[in-house]
Amino acid sequence: MTPEEVAALLAYVAELDPRTANATAAEAVAQLSRWCELLQDVPATAPDGWDAAATVRRHVAESPFPILAVDITRPWAAHRRSLLARHTDPRPAVDPDNVAAYQAAIRAQRQAVATGQAVPSSSRELTGGPHPSVAGQLGVGRALPAGAAEQLAPFRPVRAAREAAARAGHPDALTVACEWCRASAGEPCRRRTHRGTEQAGTWHRRKTPHPSRVEAAAIRPAEHAA
């Protein structure tokens, strides 16, 4: 705030809370100097609803104590933190090969947000999801486009079996360990193989869990509920 803005704010304080009125001119000058020093980095207004006058009004309305400059600097510090938390350093219009200029531009953007002169810029292209025109084709909510999951199913048999079980409303057997083949929770069931050129005792992943494991997974939620 400029000294003029601080003086206007102090006049507003005196208007709302007559207790804060200074007895002498010397006191008023000392107070103005103190507030100017403390509020030099606090803007009068800033994006996202920061308003120093509103902060004064709220303090007078809610607190039994006469307002101090820190009653404005502390709320501003919190507001500033929330502004900076939403700022994601958008690419400045500066040649990225000019490192010094690029860094200076990034710093200037942050400084503008931190002093309430600029609105924080979040990466909408990352947070807003796909454009509506392509959302349908992508199959929003799925990790893979529609059709791709089906095409990949033969190469991801364990996952395909889990998804098929989920579609059929069956419990996810992989949430429990398998008593039969000793596969731990999260691991697919397995079997030993003795065929062909493979060494006896080689473990193979089974596409589907052992039936006893499916039963165990079905019982378990009931135990939790009991």
Q: Which residues bind Zn ion (CB under 5 A)?
A: 178, 180-181, 189, 210
Of 46 and 174, the one with the shorter C-beta distance to Zn ion is 174
- Cβ of residue 90: shortest distance to Zn ion, in angstroms? 51
Quote the least distance from Cβ 168 to Zn ion, whole Å: 19
Q: How far is the CB of 144 from Zn ion (least distance, A)?
A: 27
Q: Least separation, in Å, of the C-beta of 48 and Zn ion?
A: 55
Which one, 1 or 189, has the nearer CB to Zn ion?
Answer: 189
Residue among 51 and 215 whose Cβ is closer to Zn ion: 215
The CA–CA distances, whole Å, from 226 to 174, 176, 214 equal: 21, 18, 19
Closest distance of CB 221 from Zn ion, Å: 19
Helix axes 70-85, 52-62, angle to 10 degrees: 120
Distance CA 118, CA 12 (A): 26
For residues 59 and 67, the answer to whether their CB atoms sit within 8 Å is yes
Which of 12/180 has CB closer to Zn ion?
A: 180
For residue 57 the two structure tokens come to 């009004």
Cα-flanking dihedrals φ and ψ of residue 45, to 5°?
-140, 155
